[in-house]
A and B are shown apart, each in its own frame.
Chain A
Amino acid sequence: MKRTPIYGLLAEFDSPSDLVAAAHKTYAAGYKKIDAYSPFPIEELAEAIGFHHNYVPLVVLIGGILGCAGGYLMQWWIATVSYPVNIGGRPFHSWPAFIVVTFEMTILCAVLAAVFGMLALNGLPMPYHPVFNVPRFAFATKDRFFLIVFSSDPMYNSMATRDFLQSLGPRSISEVPS
């Protein structure tokens, strides 16, 4: 597909409701490569733009399992294989004493997985992004709500798309240079 100097069209709305409504219409109209920006999480928005697959839980689960197994195996190996010592007459493999650390390791790894997994899937950190070129986008972190149709969308056509967005009654529409 040919690259155009335009990254996409950004429509600005006043309220979350308007944005959600607009997103629904846009998606329904066949636009698939779209995204929305809001100053706070809006549950409805995700499926409105057709985002369904969230892999974060899976990542966390894997992290947790690794931590759990790793934690216990480490203790077992240290206490019975690497350097077994008689501690107060207790057996080398005193599993009840190993539970605490196993648990903590589980949590630790799960937490690390959650945070860094989320960031990675979100592609953060990303210091530069074309939308930042739009001055008004600064309000996306305050009280404005934005909908963007990426120029990479097959249905994208600078004229038609602009008209379509206009029909959604946005506060303003601006082109996002790439």
Chain B
Amino acid sequence: MDERTEQMTANRAPVIEPGHTFATVTDKISSIVLTRPTSNGWLIGFGLCFLITMVLLYAIGYLFVRGVGIWGIDIPVGWGFAIVNFVWWIGIGHAGTLISAILLLLRQSWRNSINRFAEAMTLFAVACAGMFPVLHLGRPWLAYWLFPYPNTMNYWPQFRSPLVWDVFAVSTYATTSALFWFVGLIPDLATLRDRSENPWARMIYGILAMGWRGSARHWSRYETAYLLLAGLATPLVLSVHTVVSFDFAIGIVPGWHTTIFPPYFVAGAIYSGFAMVLMLAIPIRKFYGLEDFITARHLENSAKVMLATGLIVAYGYGIEAFMGWYSGNRYDSYLLWNRLHGPYSFFYYMLLSCNIFIPQLLWIRKLRTSPLGLFVISGVILVGMWLERFIIVVVSLQRDFLTSSFGMYYPTRWDWATYIGTIGFFIACMFLFLRVLPAISIFEMRTLLPEAEVRPE
């Protein structure tokens, strides 16, 4: 027993490779932004994603000209890709906050090297998610009616509607993530201010750093504020996907109206979020040679988190199926039948294999530490989680109560263009972020060095 734990700790990869000093850490990370010339790889990658973003813009333009009818939605399936994508993106966002906030509270110092870009990922994911609720409106130009602003009609949002909850939850979430991220950036911005030769960069970083000089008093308040933010972000991140799940759970549609949704949506969110983190981290550490900072340890821990949340999700599916049978409710049991044998059953089996069966490979330690393997599995999980939302939204609506109103849903090319467009937009944002901001929190990395400890004399 003891041996085994010792052994495990022994051959556990470190959080940061040995031989680094404050200076090397600082230079290594800031150089990505400051000194390195823009690589061709970056230009090509960004250019490609930018083109895809233009596709998104075109799809949106046409949408505004013609109306949501260009999508595949109909009666009974009033929600299609738009809502599926919304939930998917929001879910992905969750990992960032989880890493930066919850792991901070849990004193998981290994998070320090991945929280920065994880948070950035959160921001961009939320940006993508935030588009859809507006785009999917029949009259998107009136989206502001969902906010409680004083108006001559003295008419207000309807606070019993989960969609209004969504508005508050998502906007709070977006604000918090942005601030959290920015606060974390301040000291590093000061570093960049002091490191950069280019006067323009100096000025811009200087303005953003707001004159940070690392005073002990500041650090002390800063640390408290940061800790409190983490404390606030933690319940928030849990609440956001809970609220998103309410969009369905509050409805009476069979397959929506179930109490298991909040926990299993949150788990699913973290599940897909970590998958996305890995899909980003693995190439980044490779191309920017950051293996020293994002080590096998990080990959493995993330993999473990995925494994755990994946099992929770699996439990969710299990309960859904069980309840469908056990409740004896003719609508729920038919929903189960429809998932297993209905017109979309193929996707349900896809979902099961992507989210439950294949990820079980993560029990293998070798795989947990192999970047390529993790990259592939993460992709599979992302597909699976998208399918989960598709099953929940479309297959539930498609055949609800009146057999006379059973229908089908066929996405159009505009559905796809919008979805793929947001992915392009997301990655384009990541490219920009990597180019102009430190992808890893420098000052938090410093604290990981042994010299950072204060030795009493």
Which residues of A are at the interface with B, using a C-beta cutoff of 8 A?
15-17, 20-21, 23, 35-46, 48-49, 51, 54, 56-57, 60, 74-75, 78-79, 82-83, 85, 87-88, 90, 94, 97-98, 100-101, 103-105, 107-108, 110-112, 114-115, 117-119, 121-122, 124-129, 131-132, 137-143
How far apart are B167's CB and chain A's nearest CB, in angstroms? 9
The residue on A at minimum CB distance from B168 is A104
How far apart are A83's CB and chain B's nearest CB, in angstroms? 6
Instruction: Using A39-B22, A83-B156, A108-B171 as known contacts, list a sample of 16 further A-B pairs with CB atoms less than 8 Å apart, ordered by residue number in A.
Output: A38-B216, A39-B187, A40-B447, A41-B223, A45-B219, A57-B224, A78-B157, A78-B159, A90-B160, A100-B169, A104-B239, A108-B176, A111-B172, A114-B229, A125-B211, A128-B211
Inter-chain contacts of A97 with B (CB < 8 A): 159-160
Whether A108 pairs with B175 at a CB distance below 8 angstroms is: yes
How far apart are B347's CB and chain A's nearest CB, in angstroms? 31
How far apart are B104's CB and chain A's nearest CB, in angstroms? 13
Q: List 12 A-B contacts (CB under 8 A).
A: A17-B454, A35-B215, A38-B219, A46-B220, A54-B220, A82-B154, A117-B225, A122-B218, A137-B213, A140-B194, A141-B190, A143-B26
> Given the interface contacts A17-B457, A39-B446, A114-B228, does A46 sit within 8 Å of B216 by beta carbon?
yes
Contact of A54 among B175, B187, B221, B233 (CB under 8 A): B221
Task: Provide the main secondary structure of the chain A interface.
Answer: helix
Whether A21 pairs with B457 at a CB distance below 8 angstroms is: yes
Whether B232 pairs with A127 at a CB distance below 8 angstroms is: no
Q: What is the number of contacts between chain A and chain B, taking CB atoms within 8 Å?
A: 205
* A21 CA to B180 CA, complexed, in Å: 32
How far apart are A144's CB and chain B's nearest CB, in angstroms? 9
Inter-chain contacts of B164 with A (CB < 8 A): 101
Whether B156 pairs with A46 at a CB distance below 8 angstroms is: no
Contact of B191 among A39, A121, A137 (CB under 8 A): A39
Inter-chain contacts of B212 with A (CB < 8 A): 124, 141
Chain B residues 400 to 457 lying within 8 A of chain A, measured CB to CB, are 443-444, 446-447, 451-455, 457
Task: Provide the main secondary structure of the chain B interface.
Answer: helix
**Is B131 at the interface (CB under 8 A from chain A)?**
no
Contact of B447 among A41, A83, A125, A139 (CB under 8 A): A41
User: Which A-B residue pairs are the 6 nearest by beta carbons?
Assistant: A125-B210, A143-B22, A118-B225, A126-B211, A46-B220, A104-B168
**Is B179 at the interface (CB under 8 A from chain A)?**
yes
Contact of B229 among A16, A42, A115, A139 (CB under 8 A): A115
Whether A42 pairs with B219 at a CB distance below 8 angstroms is: yes
Contact of A101 among B165, B207, B211 (CB under 8 A): B165
The residue on B at minimum CB distance from A52 is B220
> Given the interface contacts A118-B225, A119-B210, A141-B193, does A35 sit within 8 Å of B217 by beta carbon?
yes
Whether A118 pairs with B222 at a CB distance below 8 angstroms is: yes
The residue on B at minimum CB distance from A67 is B172
* B contact residues, total (Cβ < 8 Å): 67
Inter-chain contacts of B444 with A (CB < 8 A): 40
Whether B225 pairs with A115 at a CB distance below 8 angstroms is: yes
B173-205 vs A, Cβ < 8 Å mask (1 yes, 0 no) = 001100110110001001101110000000000
* A79 CA to B447 CA, complexed, in Å: 51
Whether A56 pairs with B213 at a CB distance below 8 angstroms is: no
Whether B217 pairs with A107 at a CB distance below 8 angstroms is: no
* A109 CA to B296 CA, complexed, in Å: 39
Contact of A103 among B157, B179, B194, B239 (CB under 8 A): B239
Whether A111 pairs with B159 at a CB distance below 8 angstroms is: no
Whether B210 pairs with A87 at a CB distance below 8 angstroms is: no
* A141 CA to B218 CA, complexed, in Å: 13
Most B C-beta atoms less than 10 A away, residue of A90, A101, A117: A101
Whether B211 pairs with A142 at a CB distance below 8 angstroms is: no
**Is B236 at the interface (CB under 8 A from chain A)?**
yes
Whether A127 pairs with B206 at a CB distance below 8 angstroms is: yes
* A75 CA to B444 CA, complexed, in Å: 41
Whether A142 pairs with B232 at a CB distance below 8 angstroms is: no
**Is B246 at the interface (CB under 8 A from chain A)?**
yes
Whether B194 pairs with A142 at a CB distance below 8 angstroms is: yes
